[in-house]
Amino acid sequence: MTHRFPRWLRVASALLPAAALLAGCASSPANKPAELTEIKSSLNVRVTWRASVGSGRGTFLQPAVLENAVYAAGADGTVMRVDPQNGAIVWRTSVDGRISAGVGSDGFTVVVVTPRGEVIALGADGKALWRAQASSDVSSPPLVGRGVVVVRSTDHRVSAYEADSGKRRWSYQRQTPPLTLHASTEMAFAGDNVLVGFPGGRMVALALTNGAARWEAVISEPKGTTEVERLSDVVGPIAVDARDACAASFQGRVMCADPANGNLRWARELSARGGVSMNERAVYTVDNGSAVQAFARDGASLWRNTKLAWRAVTTPLALTNGAAVGDFAGYLHFFGADGEFVARERVDSSAIVARPQRWADGVVVLTQDGTLALLTPQR
């Protein structure tokens, strides 16, 4: 078997024999994860608090981190609000069913999705608001804000619901290749659009008012003669600011485009494991071998760190002067502006699958065993 897929990827297909074949590839012996070596820490990192959410194994669950609240969920149906200052649990509730995707929140509406595609909205107080039905199951967190809840289901249909009532506002779907990756792909707001990554290496801007496609950017063109070789799905989060909308694709590229019209600004060849994150200086991403890379805002290569090879590294979190990533053994690794390690801290012994997120000067992480934690760097 020549095509080896990381264990973090599953392949979805209308052709079950093909899916079964690829599942066999994914479970074949993988490259040996790099051993961690001692580092000279120039940054003191401490775990400010920990809270137990409940196991998230088998899902892509991640917390929603806001200024005054962290909302998190467990696969067993638990949803809770945590005070980010001290880790105190403000409230905990259950949606009376399992959860496969979430959490999405703007601070007013908190949204999770069940394995059968039932979209469940709660208020900031944890009380039920409404339920709606997506067209299929959902593995990516809903995007919540600007009066809407946007849900992307695994049939690649994007639907927007009114945040106050759950009434469907619009739905958008495009033709997709017969073989696609079943990986979490996050959406992002850009002005009055929502940016969505699709199989085939495309990023589309949909109007928040009616779901009309306003522009389409080419992240990568599928290559090869077989459907496996032509897999080129956009993976992980899309990063957006006033200058750029950046995304990455599996067996494709990392690229940045003008968020107003989708015009390409730059692109670099890269088979992405996760999405992108950026600060004023750099764009960070990770390839499918867990090499963490930084590019200047004009696309020039800044550094590439391979010392976490095959450790199932998360999408990087851009910090003020560097980045942070989690790995399969529960470690959070901090890089300086030059790409060298400046700190490392273990949260627990289970994998960090959810991308790390920023809160104030700290980093919020969630492990597969359900440990939610805030890690605070101190120089």
Mean pLDDT of all residues belonging to the chain: 91
Listing DSSP states for 195-243 in one string gives EEEETTTEEEEEETTT--EEEEEES----SSSTTTT---EEEEEEE-SS
Average pLDDT, integer, range 27-47: 85
Number of domains forming the structure of the chain: 1
Res 26 pLDDT > 90? no
Q: Is residue 19 part of a domain?
A: no
* Domain region containing 153: 34-378
Residue 177 predicted with pLDDT over 90: no
Q: Among residues 126, 137, 111, 136, which one has the least CA distance to residue 81?
A: 126
Q: Please name the helix (run of DSSP H) or strand (run of DSSP E) that holds residue 17, with its range, or none.
A: helix 16-26
Residue 168 resides in a domain: yes
d(CA 364, CA 239): 18
Residue 163 forms part of a structural domain: yes
In a domain, 176, yes or no: yes
Q: Which of 141-155, 177-191, 276-290 has the lowest mean pLDDT?
A: 177-191
Tell me the pLDDT tens digit for each residue of 217-240. 999 988 888 888 888 899 999 999
In a domain, 15, yes or no: no
pLDDT at 17 over 80: no
Q: Is residue 165 part of a domain?
A: yes
What is the DSSP code string of 161-176? EETTT--EEEEEE---
Question: Averaged over 251-261, what is the pLDDT?
Answer: 96
CATH assignment at residue 300: 2.130.10.10
Instruction: Specify the pLDDT at position 24.
Output: 35
Give residue-wise pLDDT tens across range 56-74: 888 889 999 999 999 999 9
Q: Looking at the predicted structure, is the pLDDT value of residue 29 above 70?
A: no
Q: How far apart are CA 301 and CA 152, in angstroms?
A: 32
Does any domain span residue 328?
Answer: yes
Q: Is residue 13 part of a domain?
A: no
pLDDT over 80 (residue 12) = no
Is residue 344 a contact partner of residue 307, using CB atoms and an 8 Å limit? no
Residue 346: both structure tokens together: 């273990």
Buried-state track 105-143, b at ≥16 Cβ within 10 A, e below 16: bbeebbbbbbbebbbbbbebebeebbebebbebbbbbbb
* Predicted local distance difference test score (pLDDT) of residue 28: 42
**187: Cα within 13 Å, side-chain hemisphere:** 34
In this prediction, residue 379 carries a pLDDT of: 65
- The partner residues of 3 in beta bridges, in order of sequence, read none
Asked whether residue 195 carries a pLDDT value surpassing 50, the answer given is yes
